[in-house]
Structure 1
């Protein structure tokens, strides 16, 4: 029998599961994973009555609970009379998706194509970039940022079947520029806003785009709605406009408060958009955004056109500033709603369990979510979290840090 020897050039499930699953099992053993709870008055409540505030939720503006968003989902279902018209949109589609895409396109001043999720969008679009179908017919050298989200990095093997794929250090501008000098066409793949805090150097990358024709593919899911005019997000707000060399993918599930994803294009031809619709992996299957998700997204888009959005953004900034005043982290001072509190691998689950028992759920993060040896608690701020609740959480974290320092 011939032995199968994997190359593991772009992914290594065995390593990730061997190391990471031990942390997941420990988290589940101590009640920090696999939790089942109902939403009840801004808190979550388990069947045994234990109540807690969620500090690990990406709905930063709490729009997923907004009455207009919920009513929008219901109204769309009643208007179109179907939840999920299961046929590829390239063959037959309801007007719902077209209305949503037109609304989001006007909101963010771009071309928009919808998707069921940002992961589905990236899985379909990145191989088309690799084959040259989204880069002017030229197969680019594809550079994936070392820290780019798994929804993008998991596409490396498929892209490598189409073109050459490299991985660079986090936002290594010198490396990217060097590759631009050596190769006629280059595409850089990264997060516009990192899931562990921080932003892409959009202005610097734009200069490389102007000088070398660099293509850039961003996932800006974590900053959509919380920043920029009408919630356009970090990348779109930093750029004067999009052209055919920039693609932004952003989920509508996080601060936008709905479901699905928006793919933002600039200057793509009708023919190119048809290629996306017909050949971009699951984007061409029978699974577009369902009608309830479209209705919720349409309602959220209308909220983004009102002054309520800027009020929510300001309230979120106040919550972030309060946390920063009480717990120091490397991300302090940034407008990003995620803070990573460093905790030793051997203690991160213990601290997470103590916080949960006191009524605060903060998810421990560990390899492969973060690099080995850099475990911590990922704290996510939302507008609905009370100031006293934030103070209580910070007091416990600060107390733990003091005890750990005394023990050292």
Structure 2
């Protein structure tokens, strides 16, 4: 058989023939996904991206990336344990740790790998992991990879977390949660979770991907807001791809955690270090946020305005405004209608959200102008009136 011929199984079919059936099932359920190419300088109003502070196109942020590119080159050239660790990486880690109130930080190539590195390295066989049912996919995958015993508790259910910790046989336990849940933008009950963890000797790992730049004084995050920044039994993870307008992830916490991750976190040890341009951009964005703390306040103000326009019953607590419409086809149609009128919005369907809760996911930017907000108000009012009939 030629290498270009289609292989067959014992049943006489290609081993990938099953993909046709799966794709058709997804189409029938309204769950088929497709890429939407964004051209440079795309027009319209963007309420779909995670560029919460409007810094991805900020001239200082672009200049920060260019300066790092010219100084350090296009790539980091290797893992950070070999040649990929630059003075820029370490200086940014220290600056971000100081900003959020942590003792130290460690940069990873993405928020996804930061979560996997932190959770897997700080748990492992013979330990217990307790995870909120609606944590981000990266935390879910980290739990699966950890080889720890995993207990998934109902969403924001502190009593269930305490029951899991109280009933454990394992010596070590870790509780993982988002600070701001990405699909609906609600906050985790961090003070209550921390109290439970402390009573039962458990570590608390909090993903601040949607909290950094939005919650807390000057955007320092929800942990800082509730007084848990720098706590010795709390580890924070976050991404530089949202409020900081760049790319990459960071684990922040006690210095002993940083030292351990350098020795034990496989996504850190074996992955190429984050490109210097991304680090330079993130650092520049952090400096903009420090100089302009109004950006964090503007995010929440814009979110409250949009929630009112969309008749969302609960005031938003983050940059996310979740408008539940029910079935996938309804949400898809509403998103398409918005796009046709110059408004780009997010559309979340199962399995990202539970069945029957497909929704428009609106994300605001601090830099939205009065004209952009006026267009969003007009389009959303008309589209949602039709979608909710």
Q: TM-score, normalised by structure 1?
A: 0.82
What is the correspondence of 1:4-403 to structure 2 with a 5 Å cutoff? 22-25=29-32, 28=34, 34-40=35-41, 44=42, 51-80=43-72, 82-92=73-83, 93-110=85-102, 111-131=104-124, 139-159=126-146, 161=147, 163-183=148-168, 184-196=171-183, 197-266=185-254, 268-269=255-256, 272-306=257-291, 308=292, 310-330=293-313, 332-345=314-327, 346-403=329-386
Distance 1:19 1:313, change over 3 A: farther
Q: Please tell me whether the aligned partners of residues 53 and 360 of structure 1 are also in contact (alpha carbons under 8 angstroms).
A: yes
Partner SS state of residue 314, structure 1: helix
Q: Please tell me whether the aligned partners of residues 100 and 229 of structure 2 are also in contact (alpha carbons under 8 angstroms).
A: no
What is the Cα-based RMSD across aligned positions, in Å?
Answer: 2.7
Provide the C-alpha distance between the structure 2 equivalents of 1:150 and 1:140, rounded to a whole number of angstroms. 21
- Structure 1: gaps of 5 or more residues: 2-12, 29-33, 45-50, 133-138
Q: Please tell me whether the aligned partners of residues 323 and 391 of structure 1 are also in contact (alpha carbons under 8 angstroms).
A: no
Provide the C-alpha distance between the structure 2 equivalents of 1:170 and 1:17, rounded to a whole number of angstroms. 31
Deviations 1:172-219 (A, max 9, x none): 111111122222543211111111210110111121133222211111
Q: Please tell me whether the aligned partners of residues 120 and 282 of structure 1 are also in contact (alpha carbons under 8 angstroms).
A: yes
1:404, CA displacement in angstroms? Answer: 5.4
Provide the C-alpha distance between the structure 1 equivalents of 2:87 and 2:384, rounded to a whole number of angstroms. 55
Q: TM-score, normalised by structure 2?
A: 0.86
1:403, CA displacement in angstroms? Answer: 4.4
Partner SS state of residue 193, structure 1: coil
Q: Please tell me whether the aligned partners of residues 240 and 249 of structure 2 are also in contact (alpha carbons under 8 angstroms).
A: yes
Partner SS state of residue 384, structure 1: coil
Provide the C-alpha distance between the structure 2 equivalents of 1:231 and 1:314, rounded to a whole number of angstroms. 8
Provide the C-alpha distance between the structure 2 equivalents of 1:23 and 1:265, rounded to a whole number of angstroms. 42
Off by >4 Å, runs of 4+ in structure 1: 15-22
Provide the C-alpha distance between the structure 1 equivalents of 2:70 and 2:371, rounded to a whole number of angstroms. 41
Deviations 1:40-87 (A, max 9, x none): 3xxx1xxxxxx422210100111111111111111122223x222322
Provide the C-alpha distance between the structure 2 equivalents of 1:241 and 1:376, rounded to a whole number of angstroms. 33
- Structure 2: gaps of 5 or more residues: 1-8, 10-18
